[in-house]
Structure 1
Amino acid sequence: MPSKELLDPCVDCRDVEAILTLRRRRLCKDCYIKFVSHKVFKRMEKYRLNRGLAKDTPCKLLFPFSYGLSSSVLLHMLHRQLETQHAKTHGTPGFDLHALIIEPSTISPSNPQHNEGFELAQKSFPLCSFTQVPFHSIFDLVPDIKETMSQFAGQGFVDNPSLSDAERLNAFRSCIPTSTSKADVDQILMNRLVVAFAKKIDCQTVIWGDSDSRLAAKTLASVAKGRGSSVIWQVSDGMSPFGLEFNFPLRDLFTAELRDYASFFPELISLIVPDEPRSENTLTKNLSIDELMMRYVLTQGEKYPGVMLNVTRTANKLDVSQMPSNVSHCTFCGAPLMNELGSRQSQFCYACARSRPSTSS
C-alpha cells in the first residue's frame, strides 16, 4: 500500500509533515532541532576536538547561566553534546562545562531567588558542574575592585567598611545616576566577576549565551555608548583583554528561533525565566541605551533578519590581533586605553569616564 501523501512535507527529510518555517524553509520538529543544534555544534568543534589544546585532559569551559531563554537553550544543546562525548569509549577528551550563576535576587530585588531553578538545572543537566554566587562576591574574587569603585565614583561617594559586602555594592550602584550608566556599570561588574571566577577554577574559555539578536543589540549599544573599541571582544570570538578566550556559539541564531527550539522541550519551559513584558507606555528617557537597542533589534529583526545578521557578522570580522599589545587598560572595564581624553593621562577609558557619577548626571 502506498504511503499517505503529505500535504506539507518537511523539505529536509520529506517523511513528516512540516510544522515550522525556518528561514523560508518548512521543517518538521526533528529537522528543525537538527538544523539549530548544528549551528552550535560547528561553533564548539574546536573544544570538542581539543584543537590546539591539551590532548590528555578535557578543555575546561565556563558558562555564565542566567535562566534566560538564550542561555537555557545553549546549556541544553551543550549538554546534549556532552552526552554524545561521554557515550564514546575512545576519542578526544572533549570539554568540561562549568555553569556559573550570579544569584538573580542579588542583582535586582525584583528578581526571584529561583532556588528551584538551580535544583532543576542540576537535575536536568547532570554532566555539567554548577556554582551559584551572589553579585557581591565580586569583592572576594576581585580584591582590588573596592578601590577601583571608589576612584570611579569620585568624591560624591564614600565607601563604608562597616557595611556588609552586599550593602557596599548596593551603595556604589545607587550612586550611578542614569539608567544607561547603571546598566553599563552592572554589566562591567558582572563581566569582571565571571572572568575572575573562570581564572579561579582554571578555565581557558568563557562561553557566552548571546543570540544573534542580542549580539546585534550589544554592538549597536556599545557604539552608542562610546565602547566601539570593546566590540572587538564583547561580540567577537577570540581572545579578550583578560587573557581568556570568549566564544559565542549562538551567534548564528535569532531569538525567535531559540524560542521555537525551547518549545519542544518541557524541561526548558520549566527552567526559563521569561523576560518582563515590554510596556509600550514606558518613556524612552527612562530606558537605557541597551534596552532601547534590544527593543529595536527585536522589532526590526522580525522584519529584516538579514540586516541584523550582517551587524554581527561585520563585528565578528574585527581582528583582535590587530590591537596594539603595549597599551594600558582601563582599570574599571579592562578596555585598551587608546589616546583617551585627548592628551590627558586617564585610568578610565572614554566610555567609563562618561558613566562616572560626575559626568553622567
Structure 2
Amino acid sequence: MPGKELSDPCMDCRDHDAILTIRRRRLCRNCYIRFVSYKVLRRTERYRFRKGIPKTGPCKLLLPLSYGLCSSVLLHMVHEQMEQLSKPHSPPGFDLHVLIIEPSSISPSSPSHDRAFESLKQRFPLASFTQLPLHSIFELVPNLQHILPNYAGQALADDTSRSPKERLDAFRATITSATSIADVDFILLNRLVIAFAKSIDCLGILWGDSDDRLAAKTLANVATGRGSSLTWQVSDGMSPFELEFSFPLRDLFTAELQNYAILFSELTDIIVPDTPLSENVLTKNLSIDQLMMRYVSSQGEKYPGVMSNVTRTANKLQASRMSTDGSKCALCATFICNSEGVLNPTRSTNDSPSHQFCYACDRSRPGLS
C-alpha cells in the first residue's frame, strides 16, 4: 500500500508532518529536537571523550539554574546526554551538579520555588542539586564581608551583629542606579557560583546563555567598562578563576529554545517566564543590560545573522596583553591592568591592596554611579 501522503512533510526525514520552522527549514518534532540538541552536544562532547582532560574518572561540571528558559533547557539537554552515556560501553561522561540560587533571596518579589526544586530532583535523577541563598556568599567567600563595607564607603553603616542576609540587603540597598544594581548583582551571583564550583572540585561551569543573550551581554559589558572580561564572560575556555567556562547554547536563539521547551511538559512546569519589559518604562530606569537585551531581541528578529556575528566576533577576542602586577579587583576578583602596569589609577596608592577595585567596579560604587 502507498504510504500516507503528508500535507507538510519534514524536510529532514520526510516521514512525518513538519510542526516547526527553524532557520527556514520545516521540521517534525523529532528532527527539531535532534537539530537543537546536536548544537549543544557539539559543545559538551569534549567532556564525554575526555579531550585534554585527565582520565581519572568522570569530571565534575556545574550548571547554574535560574528557573529561566535557557538554563532549564540546557539542563534538559545535558541530562538527556547523560542518560545516553549511562548505557553500557558508553564514554565515561561527567558528573553534573546543578546550583540554584534562591530567587527570593535575590528579589523579595520572587516567590519561593521549593516545589519546583523537588520536581527537578525527581525529573533529573542523574544530576545533583544544591539550593543556596544569595547571602551564603559570605560563607563561601569569607573576605567579601570586609570588602563590601569598604566598597560602599560612607553609604553603608555596616553592623556585624546583624545576620548575613541583613548585611547583604543593606549593602545592596546602597547601590542606586539600575545599571550599577545589575552590575553588582551579577558580580555577587558570579562569585557565589564560582566559589561553590571550586568547593566541590568542579572542572568547569556550563552557563545557559543563548546566542542573543551573549550578544546583549557583549554590548553591555563594553558599555559598562568590562570589555576586557569578554574573553571569559561570553567565550568558551579557561577563565581567570581557574575554571573552564562553556556556553553550550551559544549557537541557538532564545526563540528556538522556546520552541524546544514547548515540546516537553516537564519544562513548561519548571520554567518561570521572564517578565517582559514594558514599552512605557523610561530608558533612564532601565539598566544597560536591559537596554541591550531589548535592542538585541527586537533587532534579532529582523537581522539574526548580525546578532550572531556580534557573539562570534567576541568569541575570537584574545585576553588583554596590558601589563599587570598580578593584583585582582577585590570585588569581582579579575585582574587589574592598565597601560602603565600599575593598580587602578582611580584608587589611591595608599589603599590596602585587598581593597583595590577595577575601573568597572569603581564606576558602580555608591555616589559614583
* Interval of TM-score (by shorter of Structure 1 and Structure 2): over 0.9
Q: Deviations over 1:279-334 (max 9, x none)?
A: 11111111111111111111111111111111111111123496767532211112
After TM superposition, list the pairs within 5 Å mapping 1:225-264 onto structure 2: 225-264=224-263
d(CA) in 1 for partners of 2:25, 2:259:
14
Displacement, 1:342?
6.8
2:357 aligned residue (341, 348, 352): 348
Tell whether the 8 Å contact from 1:212 to 1:309 is kept in structure 2 after alignment.
yes
Residue 311 (structure 1) aligns with? 310
Q: In structure 1, the residue corresponding to 2:99 is in which secondary structure?
A: strand
After TM superposition, list the pairs within 5 Å mapping 1:130-279 onto structure 2: 130-279=129-278
Q: Deviations over 1:123-173 (max 9, x none)?
A: 110000000000000000000001111121112212101111100000000
Residue 30 (structure 1) aligns with? 30
TM-score by length of 2: 0.94
Instruction: Tell me whether 1:7 sits opposite 2:7 in the alignment.
Output: yes
Rate the CA distance shift 1:35–1:336 in 2: closer, same or farther, 3 A: same
Instruction: Tell me whether 1:358 sits opposite 2:367 in the alignment.
Output: yes
Tell whether the 8 Å contact from 1:233 to 1:240 is kept in structure 2 after alignment.
yes
Q: In structure 2, the residue corresponding to 1:100 is in which secondary structure?
A: strand
Question: Structure 2 counterpart of 1:209, which letter?
Answer: G
d(CA) in 2 for partners of 1:54, 1:313:
29
Q: In structure 2, the residue corresponding to 1:44 is in which secondary structure?
A: helix
Q: In structure 2, the residue corresponding to 1:151 is in which secondary structure?
A: helix
Instruction: Tell me whether 1:296 sits opposite 2:300 in the alignment.
Output: no
Q: In structure 2, the residue corresponding to 1:358 is in which secondary structure?
A: coil
d(CA) in 2 for partners of 1:82, 1:322:
39
d(CA) in 1 for partners of 2:222, 2:319:
17
Bigger Cα displacement from structure 2, 169-178 vs 327-336: 327-336
Q: In structure 2, the residue corresponding to 1:311 is in which secondary structure?
A: helix
d(CA) in 2 for partners of 1:81, 1:92:
11
Question: Structure 2 counterpart of 1:78, which letter?
Answer: V
d(CA) in 2 for partners of 1:27, 1:77:
19
Residue 127 (structure 1) aligns with? 126
Q: Deviations over 1:172-224 (max 9, x none)?
A: 00001111101100000000000000010010101101111111110010001
Unaligned runs of 5+ in 1: none
d(CA) in 2 for partners of 1:205, 1:326:
26
Residue 42 (structure 1) aligns with? 42
d(CA) in 2 for partners of 1:132, 1:47:
25
Q: In structure 1, the residue corresponding to 2:51 is in which secondary structure?
A: coil
Displacement, 1:9?
1.3
d(CA) in 1 for partners of 2:86, 2:4:
39
Residues paired across the two proteins, number: 359
d(CA) in 2 for partners of 1:186, 1:342:
22
TM-score by length of 1: 0.96
Displacement, 1:93?
1.8
Bigger Cα displacement from structure 2, 198-207 vs 337-346: 337-346
Rate the CA distance shift 1:79–1:112 in 2: closer, same or farther, 3 A: same
d(CA) in 2 for partners of 1:85, 1:271:
24
d(CA) in 1 for partners of 2:347, 2:177:
28
d(CA) in 2 for partners of 1:55, 1:92:
11
Tell whether the 8 Å contact from 1:71 to 1:210 is kept in structure 2 after alignment.
yes
d(CA) in 2 for partners of 1:318, 1:47:
24
Tell whether the 8 Å contact from 2:323 to 2:337 is kept in structure 1 after alignment.
no
Q: Deviations over 1:263-285 (max 9, x none)?
A: 00000000000111321111111
Question: Structure 2 counterpart of 1:308, which letter?
Answer: M
Unaligned runs of 5+ in 2: 339-343
d(CA) in 2 for partners of 1:321, 1:188:
20
d(CA) in 1 for partners of 2:324, 2:17:
55
d(CA) in 2 for partners of 1:228, 1:55:
35
Tell whether the 8 Å contact from 2:216 to 2:293 is kept in structure 1 after alignment.
yes
Rate the CA distance shift 1:324–1:38 in 2: closer, same or farther, 3 A: farther
Displacement, 1:232?
1.0
Q: What CA RMSD, in Å, does the superposition of the two structures yield over aligned residues?
A: 1.6
Tell whether the 8 Å contact from 1:206 to 1:244 is kept in structure 2 after alignment.
yes
Rate the CA distance shift 1:50–1:326 in 2: closer, same or farther, 3 A: farther
d(CA) in 2 for partners of 1:32, 1:73:
14
Tell whether the 8 Å contact from 1:238 to 1:320 is kept in structure 2 after alignment.
no
Q: Deviations over 1:220-267 (max 9, x none)?
A: 100010110011111101111111111100000000000000000000
